C-alpha cells in the first residue's frame, strides 16, 4: 500500500480559512490554485541581530519566512480598493541564544493614504506564540503587554505601537496570517538604536518564557495575559480573519482606515 499521501499530510499543515500549506521540515509556503501569493522572503539572523539580547548569538538561519500580499484570486480587486493586504509568516524552530525565535520589532510607517501608522490584526495557525507590544519607542515606552496565543487565537496591535512576535515553543514551527495596510512600511531605527524593545523574552530551563528588562528604557511594568476577543471592533467570533474579509470587508476595514476607531485607540488594550 502506498503511504506517500499519509507521509505528505504528516509533513505539512494548512492555514485557517485559506488554501495555503506549510512544510514541517522547511519554511516553505505553498498556495492552492485559487490563491495568489509571492515567493516567500527569508529574514536572516543578520537582519535582526541589532534588536536581540545577544547580537552575537547563534540560531536558525533563516529565522522566518514572510509572504506579503496573499489572498484568493477573486478578492484581488477588492483588496486593492480597500487598501488591505494579507501577510503570511512561518517561524523556524529553535532559539536565538537565550531568546526564542522572534522578529526584531518595529513600528509601522505612516501610510500616505490614511495618515496613520496602521494597526495589525494577527491570527495564529500553528504552534504557540506571544505578541509583545509597547506604546512607543522612547525612553518611557508606556504600557507594555505580552499576549499569549495559540491556534485560532487573534491579537490586535493598535496604531503606532512597537511590537514583535515570538515563537513560544522552540520545539516546533509557528505560523500566522495578518491583515496589514497595503501601503505598509516597517520603521526599525528607534528599536535598533535602543538595542531592541523594552523587554526581552528568555527561554527558561523548564521551557517557559520569562522576561528581562532592557536597561536602555525607563523602568516599566510588563502585563502578561492570554489572547482575548475584540467585540469592540465588530469582529465575527470564531470566523477566520481572512474569511471575515471575504464575507464583509467592513469587519477588517479599520486596519487600513484606523480613523474609524480614533477614540478607541487612545485607551485600547491589545
Residue 47: is its pLDDT beyond 80? yes
What is the reported pLDDT for 10? Answer: 62
Range of the domain at 71: 35-265
- Which pLDDT belongs to residue 7? 47
What is the model's pLDDT at position 237? 87
**pLDDT given for residue 197 in this prediction:** 98
Residue 26 lies in a domain: no
- pLDDT given at position 248: 94
Measured between alpha carbons, how far is 45 from 60 in angstroms, rounded to an integer? 7
**Across 217-233, average pLDDT:** 97
Contacts of 205 (CB under 8 A, 6+ apart): none
For the segment 174-197, the average pLDDT, to the nearest whole number, is: 96
In a domain, 6, yes or no: no
Contact 236, 230 (CB under 8 A): no
What CATH number does the domain containing 74 carry? 2.60.120.10
In a domain, 24, yes or no: no
**Domain presence at residue 18:** no
Q: Give 144-173 pLDDT, tens digit per residue.
A: 999 999 999 999 999 999 999 999 999 999
If you average pLDDT over residues 45-62, what whole number do you get? 97
Q: State the Cα angle at 128 between 110 and 182, rounded to 5°.
A: 25
Residue 235 CA to residue 77 CA, distance in Å, equals 22
Answer for the pair 261, 233: CB distance below 8 angstroms, yes or no.
yes
Q: Is residue 5 part of a domain?
A: no
Grid cell digits, residue 116: 496613520
Q: State the chain's mean pLDDT as an integer.
A: 95
State whether the Cα torsion 117-121-124-129 is positive or negative: positive
With beta carbons less than 8 A apart as the criterion, state whether 247 and 238 touch: no
The closest alpha carbon to 178, from 93, 240, 258, 237, belongs to 240
Number of domains in the chain: 1
> Is residue 19 in a domain?
no
Least confident of 2-11, 13-22, 26-35, 180-189: 2-11
Cα 158 to Cα 224: distance, rounded to the nearest angstrom: 17
Report whether pLDDT(1) > 70.
Answer: no
> Once rounded to an integer, what is the mean pLDDT over residues 226-255?
95
Q: What is the 3-state secondary structure (H, E, C) of the chain?
A: CCCHHHHHHHCEEECCCCCEEEECCCCCEEECCCEECCCCEEECHHHHHHHCCCCCCCCCCCCEEEEECCEEHHHHHHHHHCCEEEEEEEECCCEECCEECECCCEEECECCCCCCECCEEEEEEECCEEEEEECCCCCCCCCEEEEEECCCCEEEECCCCEEEEEECCCCCCEEEEEEEECCCCEECHHHHHCCCCCEEEEECCCCCEEEEECCCCCCCCEEEEECCCCHHHCCCCCCCHHHHHHHCHHHCHHHCCHHHHHHHHCCCCC
Q: Is residue 23 part of a domain?
A: no
Q: How sure is the predictor about 247, in pLDDT bands with cuts at 50, 70 and 90?
A: very high
Residue 9 within a domain: no
Cβ pair 145, 222 in contact under 8 A: yes
Cβ 108 vs Cβ 175: under 8 Å: no
pLDDT in tens, 10-29: 688 999 999 999 999 999 99
Mean pLDDT of 86-99: 98
Predicted local confidence at residue 5, as pLDDT: 47
Check: pTM over 0.85? Answer yes or no. yes
Q: pLDDT tens digits for 118-136?
A: 999 999 999 999 999 999 9
Amino acid at each position: 500500500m502506498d503511504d506517500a499521501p499519509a507521509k505528505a499530510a504528516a509533513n505539512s499543515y494548512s492555514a485557517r480559512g485559506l488554501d495555503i500549506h506549510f512544510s514541517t521540515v522547511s519554511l516553505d509556503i505553498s498556495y492552492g490554485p485559487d490563491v495568489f501569493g509571492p515567493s516567500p522572503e527569508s529574514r536572516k539572523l543578520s537582519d535582526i541581530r541589532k534588536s536581540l539580547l545577544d547580537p552575537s548569538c547563534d540560531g536558525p538561519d533563516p529565522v522566518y519566512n514572510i509572504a506579503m500580499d496573499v489572498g484568493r484570486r477573486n478578492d484581488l480587486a477588492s483588496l486593492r480598493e480597500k487598501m488591505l493586504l494579507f501577510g503570511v509568516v512561518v517561524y523556524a524552530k529553535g532559539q536565538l541564544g537565550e531568546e526564542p525565535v522572534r522578529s526584531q520589532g518595529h513600528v509601522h510607517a505612516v501610510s500616505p493614504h490614511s495618515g496613520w501608522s496602521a494597526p495589525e490584526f494577527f491570527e495564529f495557525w500553528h504552534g504557540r506564540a506571544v505578541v509583545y507590544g509597547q506604546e512607543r519607542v522612547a525612553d518611557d515606552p508606556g504600557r507594555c503587554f505580552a499576549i499569549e496565543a495559540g491556534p485560532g487565537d487573534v491579537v490586535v496591535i493598535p496604531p503606532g505601537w512597537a511590537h514583535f512576535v515570538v515563537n513560544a515553543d522552540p520545539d516546533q514551527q509557528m505560523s500566522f496570517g495578518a491583515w496589514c495596510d497595503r501601503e505598509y512600511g516597517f520603521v526599525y531605527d528607534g528599536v535598533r538604536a535602543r538595542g531592541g524593545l523594552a523587554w526581552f523574552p528568555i527561554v527558561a530551563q523548564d521551557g517557559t518564557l520569562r522576561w528581562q528588562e532592557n536597561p536602555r528604557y525607563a523602568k516599566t511594568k510588563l502585563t502578561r495575559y492570554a489572547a482575548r476577543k475584540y467585540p469592540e471592533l465588530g469582529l465575527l467570533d470564531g470566523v477566520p480573519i481572512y474569511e471575515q474579509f471575504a464575507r464583509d470587508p467592513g469587519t477588517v476595514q479599520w486596519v487600513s482606515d484606523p480613523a474609524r476607531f480614533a477614540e478607541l485607540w487612545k485607551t485600547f488594550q491589545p
